[in-house]
Amino acid sequence: MRWTDIAIAPLGALYFGDGRPLTAGETDHGVGRFPPSPRTFQGLVRTALLREVNGLDLGPGADQDRIAALVGPPDRLPEGWQIVGPWLAEWDSETGDRADAVAPWLPRPLYLGERPGAPERSLETVEIKPLGTDMKWDLGEAVGSASIADARARQRPAFLKPAALRNLLAGSRPSDADGGLPRFVQAEPRTGLALEPGKSVARTGMLYTLGFHRFADQAGFVLRFRGTLTGGLSSTALTRGVATIGGRNRLARLLAVSNWSRDFRAALATDHLPAAPGDGDRFWLWTTTPAAVDCPWAPVLTPERIGDARATVVTAVVGRTERIGGFSLAEGCSAAVRTHVPAGSAWLIALDGGSAEDRGALLRSFHDAFPLGTDPGASAMGFGHTLVSRLPHART
What whole-number distance in Å separates Cα of residue 327 and Cα of residue 19? 9
Q: State the burial class of residue 246 (Cβ atoms within 10 Å of its Cβ: 0-12, 13-18, 19+).
A: buried
Strand pairing category for 159-160 and 98-107:
antiparallel
Q: Which residue, 28, 37, 85, is CA-closest to 211?
A: 28
φ and ψ at 292, to 5 degrees?
-90, 110
Structure confidence at residue 78 (pLDDT): 94
Q: How many residues does the chain have?
A: 396
Q: Say if CB 67 and CB 51 are below 8 A apart.
A: no
Structure confidence at residue 27 (pLDDT): 54
Degrees to nearest 5, angle at CA 148 with 174 and 135: 130
Strand pairing category for 98-107 and 251-257:
parallel
What is this structure's pTM? Answer: 0.84
5 contacts: CB under 8 Å, gap ≥ 6: 102, 222, 223, 224, 225, 256, 257, 260
Long-range contacts at 304-309 (CB < 8 A, ≥ 24 apart): 305/354, 305/362, 306/354, 306/358, 306/359, 306/361, 306/362, 306/365, 307/354, 307/355, 307/358, 308/353, 308/354, 308/355, 308/358, 309/351, 309/352, 309/353, 309/354, 309/355, 309/358, 309/359, 309/361, 309/362
Helices (H) and strands (E) in the chain, counts: 7, 17
Question: b/e map of 356-385 (b: 16 or more CB within 10 Å)?
Answer: bebbbbbbbbbbbbbbbbebeebbbbbbbb
Structure confidence at residue 249 (pLDDT): 72
The alpha helices in the chain, defined as continuous H runs, are: 38-50, 64-71, 148-152, 162-169, 262-268, 356-364, 376-380
What whole-number distance in Å separates Cα of residue 149 and Cα of residue 140? 12
Q: Say if CB 161 and CB 99 are below 8 A apart.
A: no
What whole-number distance in Å separates Cα of residue 385 and Cα of residue 59? 33
Q: What is the DSSP letter of 366?
A: T
Structure confidence at residue 147 (pLDDT): 35
State the amino acid at position 83 in one-letter form. Answer: I
Q: Say if CB 359 and CB 394 are below 8 A apart.
A: no
Where residue 230 falls (left for φ over 0; alpha for ψ -120 to 50; beta otherwise) is beta
| Positive or negative: CA dihedral 343, 185, 226, 335 | positive
- Tens-binned pLDDT, residue by residue, of the chain (396 aa): 799 999 999 998 888 876 665 655 555 666 777 888 898 899 899 999 998 888 887 777 778 888 889 999 888 899 999 999 999 999 999 988 999 999 999 999 988 865 444 444 443 333 434 433 332 333 333 333 333 333 333 456 789 989 999 999 998 877 644 567 899 999 888 777 666 666 666 666 667 677 889 999 999 999 999 999 988 899 999 999 999 887 667 899 999 999 999 999 999 999 999 999 999 999 999 999 999 888 888 888 999 899 999 999 988 888 877 777 655 544 555 556 677 889 999 999 999 999 999 999 999 999 999 999 768 889 999 999 999 999 864 444
Structure confidence at residue 33 (pLDDT): 78
